[in-house]
Homo-oligomer: A and B are copies of this chain.
Amino acid sequence: MKIGELSKRTGVSIRMLRYYEAEGLLKPRRAASGYRDYDTAEERTVERIKLLGSGGMTLATIRQFLPCVRGEGPVFEPCDELRTVLHEQIRLADQKAEKLAQSRRILRHFLLEIEQP
């Protein structure tokens, strides 16, 4: 699958697909022409990156647990470290969610304030 098709399938711009690669998150095969050739595993990877990214995660961070993102199954070497990173990221996500909720509360507070004269 060429980059244009992957872009349409995932909704991720061609620009960003190339950027993912530059950041080391994708390594598509290359055709003789030099064109990138993605397989379906890579499509799934892109979907995961998209979701993690929309949660406010940096590509550099995502790269930390790339084996998971790639779905390469159980990891040997960095498994412990990986677990630590994952726990930390979950903690950060919770923290972020709390901030968001707090922010939302303020907005609702404002709303009540101006809706009750």
Contact = CB atoms under 8 A, between A and B. Distances in A.
Q: Is the interface of A mostly helix, strand, loop or mixed?
A: helix
A26 to B, nearest CB: 17
A89 B107 contact: yes
A80 B86 CA distance: 44
Interface in A74-105: 74-75, 79, 82-83, 86-87, 89-90, 93-94, 96-97, 99-104
Interface string A43-81: 000001001101111000000010011000111000100
A8 to B, nearest CB: 21
Interface residues of A, number: 39
- Oligomeric state, in number of copies? 2
B83 A115 contact: yes
B114 A104 contact: no
A110 B103 CA distance: 29
A113 B54 CA distance: 22
A34 interface: no
A73 B114 CA distance: 7
